[in-house]
Homo-oligomer: A and B are copies of this chain.
Amino acid sequence: MMEGVCHVIMAGGSGTRFWPVSRAGRPKQFLALVGGLPLIRQAHDRAAAMSGAASVYVAAGLAHKHMVLEALPGFDASRFIGEPFGRNTAPCIGLAALELRRSVPDGVMVVAPADHVYTNPGDLVRAIHSAVAAARAGEALVTLGIRPSRPDTGFGYIEMAEPAAGARTEGARRACRFVEKPDAATAKSYVASGRFLWNSGIFIWRIDAILAALEAFAPDVWKGLARIDAALGGPDADRVVREAFQDMPSVSIDYAVMEKAPDVLVVPADPGWSDVGSWDAVAELNDTDAAGNGVVAPDGEVLQLNASQCFVYSTTGRLISLVGVSDLVVVDSGDALLVCHKGDSQSVRSVVDALKARGRGDLT
């Protein structure tokens, strides 16, 4: 167990990539896409295994509070950090840091997305321990960087500096640049160089260090946070948080702080990370049978005849039969069905757009 460490699971995302199962009211992190439990539950349990359940906080939209409590049996609602509006990660992390400071002013805070999957969680734990040690040693803002397995153009990259003689902590390297999603040629050169890591969205820092950095580098955000800090614990806290969020810019912690702060470290890791970005990714992360077919249908039944390389995800009790087909993703929800060619699952967003255009927003 790590003492003096708090975890903040960021569960504020919404998204349309997992239609028809994910909806505005039930985003991805609440789905058991991989591993048999909601992704948020897996994120919570990973954190609890490192530092104890009492150290784990969850930040999410207030509208999703009931879903968080439903997904996390035994979770103490007092550790729910409610975002009145989605304002990206910087305001969310700032609010969480203020809340945590009230309990553990000298603590270290680990921030992790609720909707990522790790096929090699042992290395995740190793890297977080390493990052916590680096964060404790000073004012550094630490992030995990995933060693890239391919020149993916869908992620941000972090360039790390050559290890200096006398680097402060085993495993941590100075981060010299954060870059947005690159084009294909750039991504290829990044991977070839060996100096670039994928931006994992996992951050580790002392609570006071991130608050100081927000004050220094994100004055618009800090202005709202200062109002909130003055009200927290008082009778007007909810109203003040709402008003402050209303006024704060929607900005990521990467843009607001990480790209600007001088003392940023990155711990390279090989945790088998996936941001589970599409149904194709879900298909790849789940086990398959000898014919390459995968099934996630806890209440349903799937019957395949001469089918191969197909993935079925069902939240219904219906029977699904695949005959003579290959390379399909079939997703069955209560009121809508998706049949998608593998490799085309990025187009699911377009289905959602088309439904809205048709006046069928009730299905999105």
Contacts and interface: CB of A to CB of B under 8 A. Distances in A.
A324 interface: yes
28 contacts: A301-B360, A303-B354, A305-B350, A306-B344, A317-B335, A318-B335, A318-B336, A318-B337, A319-B335, A319-B336, A321-B336, A321-B338, A321-B339, A321-B340, A323-B338, A323-B340, A323-B341, A323-B345, A323-B347, A323-B348, A324-B344, A324-B347, A325-B339, A325-B341, A325-B344, A328-B339, A330-B339, A339-B339
Interface in A287-344: 301, 303, 305-306, 317-325, 328, 330, 332, 335-341, 343-344
A104 interface: no
A351 B320 contact: no
B339 A322 contact: yes
A25 B342 CA distance: 36
A82 interface: no
Contacts of A306: 344, 347
A355 interface: yes
Interface in A6-27: 20
B341 A324 contact: yes
A347 B323 CA distance: 7
Given A303-B351, A321-B338, A325-B328, 6 more contacts: A318-B336, A319-B360, A321-B340, A323-B340, A325-B341, A337-B337
A351 B321 contact: yes
Using C-beta atoms within 8 Å of the partner chain, give the interface range for chain A: 35 or more
A340 B328 CA distance: 11
A363 interface: yes
Nearest to A301: B360
B319 A355 contact: yes
Given A303-B355, A354-B303, A340 B325 contact: yes
Contacts of A341: 323-325
A337 to B, nearest CB: 5
A317 B337 CA distance: 11
A329 B124 CA distance: 44
A1 to B, nearest CB: 46
Nearest to A339: B322
Contact of A351 (B305, B325, B337): B305
